[in-house]
Structure 1
Amino acid sequence: MFEQANGTWRGKVTVGYTEDGKQRFRWVSGKTQAEALAKVAEIKQRLASGTFSDTKLTVKSYLEQWLDEKARHVKPSTVDTYRRLSTVHIIPKVGRKGLDKLTPLDVQNLMGELADSTGVRTANACRTLLFSAYKQAIRWQLVARNPVEATDPLRAAHKDTVLWSGAQAAHFLDSARPHRLYAAFYLVMATGLRRGELLGLRWEDVSERELYIRQQLTYREGAFVFAPPKTAQGTRRIAITPDVYAVLEAHRRAQEAQRADLGEMWPNTGLVFVSEVGTPIHPRNFERSWGQLKKAANMPPARLHDLRHLHVSLLVKQGVDPQAIADRVGHSDASFTLRRYSHMFEEHRERTAISLATLLGVSMTGQTN
């Protein structure tokens, strides 16, 4: 500790050692000797408690490095999501903070602001990203603690699934029949396809008896992207019935007529569902068509994804085995299907109470009526 010519005080603390054994110092300064000593004592206390870090990285600069490294280990779509969350939501709010200066309160405040502006789901996704990033920062010995550990995910308001009745679903299809995408909504109800799987379906993957689901369509950073389904179970074959194939064949003929009208201007995408000019359908435009058709049919509110739930519920009512349902809709396993739709299976549990005589197929003596 020494006094400088201008009257201020300077001091240093050994905070570690370089690879060749030389000491690493952190310098402090203060207007008075007491102030400088207090800063030295604070650093020593943080060293003793394991919370000291001398990194000069900001949250922004570190996240950029971390994402570059992450890109070597995860799918491009995952990195795109991480970059969007980081660039749009995290960096504008806490990017200038020193990597070792971000506190649990900073993280909690960030989540609260995001929950109010963009929703709980986005807020929790940013928390998950930061948790993973700081976990790696600890491994790289850039920080001593993860500030996200002291925060809790926000509880999202549960969105109730809206299941139309059979009559309502039939009414919607009757109303939508003249629309050029009628077959798409018929197919979702009949197979439970996800939106990306539906929009990524190719004619080469359609046969009279089944669909082969092996890609999905997404839209990222201004471009259409075709990628495999999210999970191994997502790549699957789905049996279809004659009515579904007939609807698809009618759709194919209508599409061929459109293609003939445009001639060479029609792009050869091979997709089952395309725009009016033959290009892939933007997911947002598909959702817009869905909303317009619902309104025209005066239907109760429902999300497009609710049609997938409708398909599963209809299979449950038909007594289809949970494993068969999981295989059909691309769930990870039957246990997920049972958990997700437990209330539906519960309604049919009484059907399993069958007399032994009926099970054996014989008439048993000594039974009481």
Structure 2
Amino acid sequence: MSPREFFLLYEKLLSGTITAEEKLRLQEYTDQMEAEEHPWQAEMGDKTEIENELHALLEQEIKPKKRTGIRTLTTILTAAAAFTGLFILLSSIYKNNPTLPPSTLKNLASNKVTPGCNKAILTLADGSSITLDSAGAGSLTTKNGVIIKQVQNGLIEYNDKTGSSATSWSTIATPTGGQYQIVLEDGTKAWLNATSSLRFPTTFRNNERTVEISGEVYFEIATNESKPFKVNFDGNTITVLGTHFNVMAYKDEAKSKVTLLQGAVKVNNHSGEQLLKPGMQAQMTDSNTRITTCKANLEEVIAWKNGYFTFDHENIQSIMRKLARWYDVRVNYQGDMNGKIFSGTISRFDNISEVLSMIELTGTIHFRIQGRELTVLP
């Protein structure tokens, strides 16, 4: 069982949704902690004590007060797992690792920077705008026969009843600390991460469906063989018929990335084109550079859509850019950040203090936060 599988099964245990078969698999894994690929290390603490704590949890049906992400689980999964390959109980780490900086952790715990939420601005063709937030379901507006409806918190859909041949464009944009989902007129679904935008026609009337994006957007394209779907960003174009894929094209990232989960897509720019198969990722620095491809870590790519931060051997600067977008904080660095690489999975719906404390437990990096100013220190 991989650490990721253990992570998911343990969350099911905490939420009360684990099956008998899954519970048995989880129990068997905890019985095999000394497997060759996960050797026990002295700094983990007392092996028997930690195993007993895990077994005790497995023998109970633990119900969380509310499902806002990883609660008890965050006491098991830490960024230190990147170096040990094992989930560690933080209670044991505290008891057996007196070098941890308690004053720094206390500083983080006292900070109340909350996670992002469902919010966006919808700008219509006539220039008017609608603030999208936690309002309940129902019709938001009707413009020239186009019905815009909030189906649920964080999700709107378009329904064109005009039959007109004219094409008008709208834009949905998320701020820092925001996310939103939209169902386009053809049934295509799009999820917008923080600081992202999607420009789209209210209805697709021509022989192709074209949209423009910035930031990060995950698509599930409605199949229509007579109307290819095209996504334009930074001089690059993705062409599909019906598929699931993620586009990451933030201005502050060195590369734009297109990751295919299902179906097939063609990515092209001034330098040429690449056809992607499921599980592959296309990367480009700008529209004039050659498109390169590689195998993708799909769980890491779409973790944001599923409510998590997943870091796969990621440097601290990249991690902080993700946190800054979601928690709306400004990040500063002091000291040498070279070689600060982390792996792990943490809920996006915990306060920032919980996320930072998890990373601090590696003992290789520390944080100071005042208001929305976050300083990273070695």
Q: State TM-score, norm by structure 2.
A: 0.22
The structure that is helix-richer by fraction is 1
Question: TM-score, normalising length from structure 1?
Answer: 0.22
Give the number of the structure with larger relative contact order, counting CA–CA contacts within 8 Å between residues 6 or more apart.
Answer: 2
Choose 1 or 2 for highest CA Rg.
1
Q: Which has the higher strand share?
A: 2
